A and B are shown apart, each in its own frame.
Chain A
């Protein structure tokens, strides 16, 4: 219970300070609406406006990008990790693009995929795939050698070793990669929704609310995006705990 109380107190404190700032008129009410107004406008946008649809669009894009990233990153990471010398050869390229801000790639992807859904998902998938690939490869390279030898002594052929040992050895690291990957995919999708010809999505909604001076709604959408990121992260943390029960033991 204590674990729930402390963050709740922190959140309440944050809202309290916000309210105090509004009451003291520390900023123009147009720039800083009250928490209640923010809540009401956001709730209204959910029930009577497009916000639920926007949330849904952002979630689908993120999930799609994430799935594509997993489908590419996990197998490729496993294979590259199993062939360490090959990974060393491509490591620089992977690290380089992993460090490149994905937003800098928007123009390139626009040329490749045109203005549309494909581009947003492709850029997000590209960024997330590199993170997942990198983690999967390292998970495999850090596999306990003894376990590989044990599997070999017990008559497991290379492909079996890959599925029975390497995949499991890398699993904790793969899930860490997935968690970072899904967060990155969300960031890229939201930015893409702002700047790559969109009509919906949380990113688009923030931009519209801002340009229409609906600052309460703008704050509300920001919080919704924040909550989405937080929950995705939390879901993966819980999955890690449940699924890799043996980690660190």
Chain B
């Protein structure tokens, strides 16, 4: 991976340290994410993927080091966060549309602007279900879609997704994946996607960061130079297979074998 100049970086992490109960998860970790890129973070259970994005999102304090968004701290920028468990992340006492409006109200936007954004999101994601339903009246895929819309509504500098599809079935995952890549690429949203699924990481990302076990370091940093949009047919393209082979090789060497 070529060097990213700080000017191009939407997110830069320097000398990050984090330990839980004396056990280091990160001990001097650095990372730059280019504006508009989708970065997939792939690594074994417990290596600290969620910890990383939680610290970046300001939900967890860092022990040392810093995480900056084009020079600014997380409090000064807008971010979006999609949690793995949509059931526990949406507000079930608010209708789906109200869930999406919530962060916009916190920003203090005018009602007309809020409605415009809601309509645009609904159009971008081709929403065909009734957003005036309560989240629990929707299917799992629809609920996670509402979560994604809620996170994107603020037009975030960086969008964080923590295993957003892991609770969904394969068919739903495929359709959400393809919608998401279209929207993210059209909006040029800088995105960090935590994923457990290598295939998904390759399909959705411009770049894959493969992490080792704790203390976590970068096992490999793989550029995914496949053209967009990436349809299902791409899964069998030679370039795709080659990237997958390289990732698997890294994985067996640095992670599974360790």
Residues in B with CB closer than 8 Å to A171 are: 93
Q: Known: A153-B81, A160-B106. Contact between A146 and B59, CB under 8 A?
A: no
Number of interface residues of A (CB under 8 A): 19
Give Cα distance in the complex from A167 to B59, angstroms. Answer: 21
Binary flags per residue of B84-117, CB closer than 8 Å to A gives 1, else 0: 0100111111000000001100110000000000
Q: How far is the CB of B51 from chain A (nearest CB, A)?
A: 13
Find out whether the CB atom of B106 lies under 8 angstroms from the CB atom of A246.
no
Q: Determine if B154 is an interface residue (Cβ-Cβ < 8 Å).
A: yes
Q: Determine if B134 is an interface residue (Cβ-Cβ < 8 Å).
A: yes
Question: Of A153, A168, A244, A245, which is within 8 A of B91 by CB?
Answer: A168
Find out whether the CB atom of B91 lies under 8 angstroms from the CB atom of A154.
no
Q: Determine if B83 is an interface residue (Cβ-Cβ < 8 Å).
A: yes
Give Cα distance in the complex from A147 to B90, angstroms. Answer: 7
Q: Known: A154-B106, A154-B154, A168-B93. Contact between A147 and B59, CB under 8 A?
A: no
Find out whether the CB atom of B91 lies under 8 angstroms from the CB atom of A149.
no
Residues in B with CB closer than 8 Å to A156 are: 106
Binary flags per residue of B55-83, CB closer than 8 Å to A gives 1, else 0: 00111000000000000000000111101
Q: Determine if B136 is an interface residue (Cβ-Cβ < 8 Å).
A: yes
Q: Known: A153-B59, A154-B154, A155-B106. Contact between A246 and B83, CB under 8 A?
A: no
Q: Determine if A141 is an interface residue (Cβ-Cβ < 8 Å).
A: no
The A145-164 residues at the B interface (CB cut-off 8 A) are 146-147, 149-150, 152-156, 160, 164
Most buried by A among B78, B92, B134: B92
The B115-156 residues at the A interface (CB cut-off 8 A) are 134, 136, 150, 154
Find out whether the CB atom of A165 lies under 8 angstroms from the CB atom of B91.
yes
Q: Determine if A242 is an interface residue (Cβ-Cβ < 8 Å).
A: no
Find out whether the CB atom of B59 lies under 8 angstroms from the CB atom of A155.
no
Nearest-neighbor residue (CB-CB) of A145 within chain B: B88
Most buried by B among A146, A153, A244, A249: A153
Q: How far is the CB of A141 from chain B (nearest CB, A)?
A: 16
Nearest-neighbor residue (CB-CB) of B86 within chain A: A146
Give Cα distance in the complex from A144 to B93, angstroms. Answer: 13
Nearest-neighbor residue (CB-CB) of B108 within chain A: A155
Give Cα distance in the complex from A241 to B102, angstroms. Answer: 25
Find out whether the CB atom of A249 lies under 8 angstroms from the CB atom of B106.
no
Give Cα distance in the complex from A150 to B102, angstroms. Answer: 11
Find out whether the CB atom of A149 lies under 8 angstroms from the CB atom of B106.
no
Residues in A with CB closer than 8 Å to B78 are: 155
Nearest-neighbor residue (CB-CB) of A154 within chain B: B103
Number of interface residues of B (CB under 8 A): 23
Give Cα distance in the complex from A153 to B136, angstroms. Answer: 22
Give Cα distance in the complex from A202 to B234, angstroms. Answer: 79
Q: Known: A153-B59, A153-B79. Contact between A147 and B134, CB under 8 A?
A: no
Find out whether the CB atom of A149 lies under 8 angstroms from the CB atom of B93.
no
Most buried by B among A155, A164, A165: A155
Question: Of B81, B93, B154, which is within 8 A of A150 by CB?
Answer: B81
Nearest-neighbor residue (CB-CB) of A148 within chain B: B59
Q: How far is the CB of B106 from chain A (nearest CB, A)?
A: 4
Give Cα distance in the complex from A214 to B199, angstroms. Answer: 84
Residues in B with CB closer than 8 Å to A168 are: 91, 93
Find out whether the CB atom of B106 lies under 8 angstroms from the CB atom of A150.
no
Find out whether the CB atom of B103 lies under 8 angstroms from the CB atom of A155.
yes
Give Cα distance in the complex from A246 to B106, angstroms. Answer: 23
Give Cα distance in the complex from A147 to B147, angstroms. Answer: 12
Find out whether the CB atom of A146 lies under 8 angstroms from the CB atom of B83.
yes
Residues in B with CB closer than 8 Å to A147 are: 88-89, 91
Residues in B with CB closer than 8 Å to A144 are: 88
Residues in A with CB closer than 8 Å to B85 are: 146
Residues in A with CB closer than 8 Å to B107 are: 155
Q: How far is the CB of B88 from chain A (nearest CB, A)?
A: 4
Residues in B with CB closer than 8 Å to A244 are: 93
Give Cα distance in the complex from A164 to B93, angstroms. Answer: 10
Q: How far is the CB of A147 from chain B (nearest CB, A)?
A: 6
Q: Which residue numbers of B lie inside 8 Å of A, CB to CB? A: 57-59, 78-81, 83, 85, 88-93, 102-103, 106-107, 134, 136, 150, 154
Q: Which residue numbers of A lie inside 8 Å of B, CB to CB? A: 144, 146-147, 149-150, 152-156, 160, 164-165, 168, 171, 244-246, 249
